[in-house]
């Protein structure tokens, strides 16, 4: 959809977020909606003699983030290390996964033994699907298949199955593939990705998508950092913003937007402090995110993101790009502004990226 290129460039410029182009491989199948799962054939369009799925389907998103592998500075720089898994699905009312996409972000921020940031925080942060062959599993790890190929194999394997069927057949106790066909491609640890698929299915809701609609995701990452000082701890924060949309032609039929802020603190000796608590997304935080409590907002972030997602459903990417906003990219349309008072330039950029 070349005509969105200029729109996307403009939105990414005005947005506080920065990302890159890239469309992940999405696996879909024409599955029956009576709960009967079918096996995939190993192609992007699985062989299936069952009638095509029809009717309304649910759209789901899961974001799972951690910074548990962060390390203190010493003779070498310390590191705030992030791992974020993103899964989008469509699923029928019987729990059968109709389409699935898996992506991941792995990045880090380094700092020295005095707590000073040493990384280039303005460098573009690509997802593993966007990195493709550049991720280096073949070149440096001797793998037969790259990460994006292995993730795609799992996504394909999930299509046509319920979560229970996926968990029963995909991986063993060690988290590695046990299904022969899946194991032929996917040799990485899959346990966390299967759990993320389960979470996406659990989160799925009826938002307007119909069977056969195309599933897309977009991910935009940004870093914000502060070096440590005698008065304040240092901060390395990764913001990962995600939109999942379904499309019928150029029209958005459903949309989910969420964001996660992964934070790592460190002191002037380069010692890290990482909470053992799960890193919740803004949707998961809900009222605890604090826009009502601390900013006096009438609506929480999750409510505003959901309102924007509902507003753009039934629109094209060009129409979303044309939503009237002020100089801070807050909406000026009366209906939208009644609920959404935050800047939406980043949301627009996500939609443009997902639909390009």
Q: pLDDT tier at 250 (50, 70, 90 boundaries)?
A: very high
Task: Identify the CA nearest to 333 among candidates 310, 311, 303, 301.
Answer: 311
Percent of the chain at pLDDT exceeding 90: 81
Reply yes or no on whether the pLDDT at 46 is more than 70.
no
Reply yes or no on whether the pLDDT at 21 is more than 60.
no
Place of tokens 């801070």: 328
* Better-scored residue on pLDDT, 160 or 43: 160
Q: pLDDT tier at 26 (50, 70, 90 boundaries)?
A: low
The per-residue pLDDT for 2 is: 42
Reply yes or no on whether the pLDDT at 219 is more than 60.
yes
Structure tokens at 312: 């753009």
Burial class (CB in 10 A: 0-12, 13-18, 19+), 51: exposed
Determine the length of the chain.
Answer: 356
Structure tokens at 65: 């983030």
Residue 283 exposure: Cα atoms within 13 Å on the Cβ side: 19
The per-residue pLDDT for 173 is: 87
The mean pLDDT value for 228-241 works out to: 98
Reply yes or no on whether the pLDDT at 120 is more than 50.
yes
| Inter-residue long-range contacts of 334-342, CB under 8 Å, 24+ positions, other chains counted | 335/311, 336/307, 336/308, 336/311, 339/299, 339/303, 339/304, 339/307, 340/299, 340/304, 340/307, 340/308, 340/311, 341/297, 341/298, 341/299, 341/304, 342/291, 342/301, 342/304
The per-residue pLDDT for 6 is: 45
Residue-wise pLDDT for 88-117, tens only, equals: 999 999 999 999 999 999 999 999 999 999
The per-residue pLDDT for 11 is: 45
Reply yes or no on whether the pLDDT at 157 is more than 70.
yes
Per the prediction, the chain carries an average pLDDT of: 88
Report the run of H or E that residue 121 belongs to, with start and end.
none
Q: Helices marked H in 126-259 — which ranges?
A: 128-131, 137-141, 147-158, 163-169, 180-183, 191-203
Where does residue 55 fall: left (phi above 0), alpha (psi -120 to 50 degrees), or beta otherwise?
Answer: left
The per-residue pLDDT for 84 is: 98
Q: pLDDT tier at 50 (50, 70, 90 boundaries)?
A: very low
The mean pLDDT value for 129-135 works out to: 97
Structure tokens at 50: 């069952």
Task: Identify the CA nearest to 295 among candidates 342, 327, 242, 333.
Answer: 342
The per-residue pLDDT for 48 is: 36
The per-residue pLDDT for 258 is: 98
Q: pLDDT tier at 169 (50, 70, 90 boundaries)?
A: confident
Residue-wise pLDDT for 290-339, tens only, equals: 999 998 999 999 999 999 999 999 999 999 999 999 999 999 999 999 99
Instruction: In whole angstroms, give the CA distance from residue 93 to residue 201.
Output: 11
What order of strands is seen across the sheet that includes strand 97-111?
27-28, 97-111, 78-91, 56-66, 205-210
Reply yes or no on whether the pLDDT at 44 is more than 70.
no
* Better-scored residue on pLDDT, 229 or 47: 229
Q: pLDDT tier at 52 (50, 70, 90 boundaries)?
A: low
């Amino acid at each position: 959809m070349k005509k969105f290129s200029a729109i996307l460039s403009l939105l990414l410029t005005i947005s506080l977020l920065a990302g890159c182009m890239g469309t992940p491989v999405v696996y879909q199948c024409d599955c029956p909606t009576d709960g009967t799962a079918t096996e995939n054939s190993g192609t992007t369009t699985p062989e299936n003699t069952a009638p095509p799925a029809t009717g309304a389907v649910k759209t789901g998103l899961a974001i799972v983030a951690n910074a548990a592998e962060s390390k203190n500075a010493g003779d070498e720089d310390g590191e705030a290390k992030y791992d974020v898994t993103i899964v989008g699905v469509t699923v029928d009312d019987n729990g059968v996964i109709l389409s699935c996409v898996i992506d991941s972000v792995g990045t880090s921020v380094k700092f020295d033994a005095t707590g000073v940031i040493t990384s280039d925080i303005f460098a573009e942060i690509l997802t593993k699907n966007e990195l493709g062959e550049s991720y280096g599993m073949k070149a440096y790890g001797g793998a037969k298949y790259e990460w994006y190929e292995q993730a795609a194999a799992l996504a394909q394997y999930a299509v046509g199955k319920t979560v229970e069927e996926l968990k029963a057949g995909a991986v063993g106790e060690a988290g590695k593939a046990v299904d022969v066909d899946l194991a032929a491609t996917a040799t990485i640890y899959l346990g966390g990705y299967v759990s993320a698929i389960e979470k996406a299915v659990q989160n799925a809701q009826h938002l307007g998508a119909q069977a056969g609609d195309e599933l897309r995701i977009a991910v935009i990452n940004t870093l914000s950092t502060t070096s440590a000082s005698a008065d304040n701890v240092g901060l390395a924060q990764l913001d990962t913003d995600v939109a999942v949309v379904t499309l019928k032609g150029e029209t958005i039929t459903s949309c989910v937007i969420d964001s996660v802020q992964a934070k790592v603190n460190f002191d002037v000796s380069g010692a890290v402090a990482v909470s053992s608590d799960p890193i919740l997304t803004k949707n998961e935080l809900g009222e605890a995110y604090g826009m009502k409590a601390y900013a006096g907002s009438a609506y929480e972030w999750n409510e505003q993101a959901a309102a924007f997602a509902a507003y753009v459903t039934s629109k094209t990417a060009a129409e979303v790009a044309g939503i009237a906003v002020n100089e801070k990219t807050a909406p000026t349309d009366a209906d939208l502004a009644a609920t959404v008072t935050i800047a939406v330039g980043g949301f627009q950029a996500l939609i443009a990226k997902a639909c390009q």
